[in-house]
A and B are shown apart, each in its own frame.
Chain A
Amino acid sequence: MYAQEVKTPSSRLRSRSDMCEQECAFQDKLDAGTKIEPKDWMPDAYRKTLVRQISQHAHSEIVGQLPEGNWITRAPTLERKAILLAKVQDEAGHGLYLYCAAETLGVSRDDMTADLLSGRAKYSSIFNYPTLTWADVGAIGWLVDGAAIMNQVPLQRCSYGPYARAMVRVCKEESFHQRQGFDIMRVLANGTEAQRAMAQDALDRWWWPSLMMFGPPDDASVHSAQSMAWGIKQDSNDELRQKFVDQTVPQSDFLGLKIPDPDLIWNDDEQHYDFGAIDWHEFYDVIAGNGPCNAERLGARCNAWSEGAWYREGLKAHSDKQRLDRKAA
């Protein structure tokens, strides 16, 4: 998802016999549904896994501003422009809520930023695809934010209090994102032949990468079991992916667009849509840094950081001076 490759320190689920007394008490707390707060004792591995997951999630929100930001100056109307600006600003806010949640675990903001800029930290594969037309802004809101909602709603019940609370805030804001995207698609789908074609082309390009957002298939997700025992993850990747497909196909039908999957078919026995094989090779390739826009996205973040240095330093100098002035007075 926004954190697709969260490794727990061990790929084996810890059993009660592996745990010390303190750890057993911790697991009891989780099993009883008690939230963990920053100053509470927690196993090192729980802390590390959360830091990885929350910081990956935060980085995704921040990098996720770039594909859509690309269209702010070229939005077709002033209203669309204002809406897109508000949407992208929300994503910046999501990044900030999440960085703060991660910081309660003892990592510094600057270290997380350094990890993103150096390429050590991951962010969601989805943001390494280009936004070629205005319809891509519609497809991102509809599909990418739609997939994000599917993943973030259960995270509101995550065992770590600050992460769960950040998710409540994020989820409140997300449904506007999905609706504005669907609205763009609806207008295009009911527009001229060229506009319809543009909407279809965007769906064609964003469909499969959106399904990949849910992360590797369950049989390849060796770290999921431990994350579930810790209450960091509630549903499996494949379960959420299936839910997303079942929710989205009727919406696509409503738009009169065609999902680019010849194997997509309603399965009456299972009461869900069967869908075709996902190209996991592409997914791992994008994660490894070889997607169409990886270099561009990271380059944009690095530029923003170094070109903003004078401003950050200026604010710091100003506050230092004010402190001195106050002392002198």
Chain B
Amino acid sequence: MSGASSSASPWPLWEVFIRGQAGISHRHVGSLHAADAETALCNARDVYTRRGEGVSIWVVPSAAILATDPDDHDQLFDAAQSKIYRHPSFFEVPEEIGHM
């Protein structure tokens, strides 16, 4: 038996995004390994759409994704917390005006 870790270089990891139905955006559903993008698409079809869960698939190399650092969370997202006037519910609409 040849050990699993003896494989020269592992297949890259791909993130899979699926459009559930026409009119809605692609959504991240998971990831998988494949040698190249074409095989990743084929595998994504078998792994993530066995019950008609999608009408379109994107695969993206996981290594190509740049993400925010959870340690920067406060610095990035706290500022929005104080700007509640960005929500329409901040403003009172007189009853006489009705819908606005």
- Residues on A with C-beta less than 8 A from B33 are 109
- Residues on A with C-beta less than 8 A from B32 are 96, 100
A76-110 vs B, Cβ < 8 Å mask (1 yes, 0 no): 00000000001001100100110010010000111
A115-141 vs B, Cβ < 8 Å mask (1 yes, 0 no): 011100000000000000000000000
**Given A40-B70, A110-B7, A309-B2, are A96 and B35 neighbors across the interface (CB < 8 Å)?**
no
- Residues on A with C-beta less than 8 A from B31 are 100, 103
With A and B bound together, what is the CA distance between A37 and B73 in angstroms?
A: 13
Report the minimal beta-carbon distance from B77 to chain A, rounded to whole angstroms: 14
A318 at the interface (CB under 8 A from B): yes
Point out the residue from A89, A90, A305, A319 that lies within 8 Å of B4, measured CB to CB: A305
Interface pair A39/B67, CB less than 8 Å apart: yes
Interface pair A316/B4, CB less than 8 Å apart: no
Interface residue tally of chain A, by bracket? 35 or more
Point out the residue from A41, A116, A173 that lies within 8 Å of B70, measured CB to CB: A41
Q: Which partner residue on chain B sits nearest A312 by CB separation?
A: B7
Report the minimal beta-carbon distance from A57 to chain B, rounded to whole angstroms: 15
Interface pair B39/A108, CB less than 8 Å apart: no
A114 at the interface (CB under 8 A from B): yes
Question: How many positions in chain B have a CB within 8 Å of any CB in the partner chain?
Answer: 28
With A and B bound together, what is the CA distance between A315 and B47 in angstroms?
A: 18
B3 at the interface (CB under 8 A from A): yes
- Residues on A with C-beta less than 8 A from B67 are 39
Point out the residue from B8, B35, B69 that lies within 8 Å of A315, measured CB to CB: B35
B5 at the interface (CB under 8 A from A): yes
B84 at the interface (CB under 8 A from A): no
Report the minimal beta-carbon distance from A70 to chain B, rounded to whole angstroms: 22
B34-45 vs A, Cβ < 8 Å mask (1 yes, 0 no): 111001000000
A322 at the interface (CB under 8 A from B): yes
Q: Which of A183-228 contact B (CB under 8 A)?
A: none
Main SS class of interface, A = helix
A171 at the interface (CB under 8 A from B): no
Interface pair A93/B50, CB less than 8 Å apart: yes
B13 at the interface (CB under 8 A from A): yes
- Residues on A with C-beta less than 8 A from B4 are 110-111, 113-114, 116-117, 305
With A and B bound together, what is the CA distance between A316 and B9 in angstroms?
A: 9
- Residues on B with C-beta less than 8 A from A40 are 70
Interface pair B35/A319, CB less than 8 Å apart: yes
Point out the residue from B2, B30, B34, B71 that lies within 8 Å of A305, measured CB to CB: B2
**Given A114-B3, A309-B2, are A316 and B35 neighbors across the interface (CB < 8 Å)?**
yes
- Residues on B with C-beta less than 8 A from A73 are none
Report the minimal beta-carbon distance from B87 to chain A, rounded to whole angstroms: 23
Task: Please give the residue numbers on chain A whose beta carbons come within 8 Å of chain B beta carbons, in ascending order.
Answer: 37, 39-41, 86, 89-90, 93, 96-97, 100, 103, 108-111, 113-114, 116-118, 165-166, 169, 173, 302, 305-306, 309, 312, 315-316, 318-319, 322-323
Task: Please give the residue numbers on chain B whose beta carbons come within 8 Å of chain A beta carbons, in ascending order.
Answer: 1-5, 7-11, 13, 29-36, 39, 46-47, 50-51, 67, 69-71
